[in-house]
Amino acid sequence: SAVISQKPSRDICQRGTSLTIQCQVDSQVTMMFWYRQQPGQSLTLIATANQGSEATYESGFVIDKFPISRPNLTFSTLTVSNMSPEDSSIYLCSVALSVVLFFGEGSRLTVL
């Protein structure tokens, strides 16, 4: 397994602001993934972050809204930009080992 740390664990944000979530992994990994878990919903993949290249976004998610950085093999950030109440969710960082994914504890965002 992998140890995945996320910051912040939770935050309350004002509409129109942006927040950056950090993800640190205890080992080097090629790919890191960002998921969203909306209240009462299942997890949805936002994007794949590869070191040294631009992130690849899933349908319905765009770089302007969710810019991602991947400066090295153990770290990634996800920014939620120009937030609205609809962005209130848990955002989860994930890495793959073989065919399964391991998740961080999540960052719970509430947008007022």
Partner 1 sequence: QKEVEQDPGPLSVPEGAIVSLNCTYSNSAFQYFMWYRQYSRKGPELLMYTYSSGNKEDGRFTAQVDKSSKYISLFIRDSQPSDSATYLCAMRMGLANAGGTSYGKLTFGQGTILTVHP
Tell me the two tokens of residue 4. Answer: 């995945």
Residues β-bridged to residue 95: 32, 102
Strand, helix or coil at 112?
coil
**Is 11 a binder of partner 1 (CB under 8 A)?**
no
Q: Output 4 or 111, the one with its CB closest to partner 1.
A: 4
Q: Name which of residues 35 to 94 contact partner 1 (CB under 8 A).
A: 40-45, 48, 56, 58, 92, 94
Tell me the two tokens of residue 43. Answer: 């997890």
| DSSP secondary structure of 17-86 | --EEEEEEESS--SEEEEEEE-TTS-EEEEEEEETTS--EEPTT--TTTS-EEEEETTEEEEEE-S--GG
Question: In this chain, which stretch among 14-22, 69-77, 80-88, 99-107 interacts with partner 1, using CB under 8 A?
Answer: 99-107
**Is 103 a binder of partner 1 (CB under 8 A)?**
yes
Q: Output 19 or 34, the one with its CB closest to partner 1.
A: 34
**Is 108 a binder of partner 1 (CB under 8 A)?**
yes
Residues found near partner 1 in the complex (CB under 8 A): 1, 4, 31, 33, 40-45, 48, 56, 58, 92, 94, 96, 99-106, 108
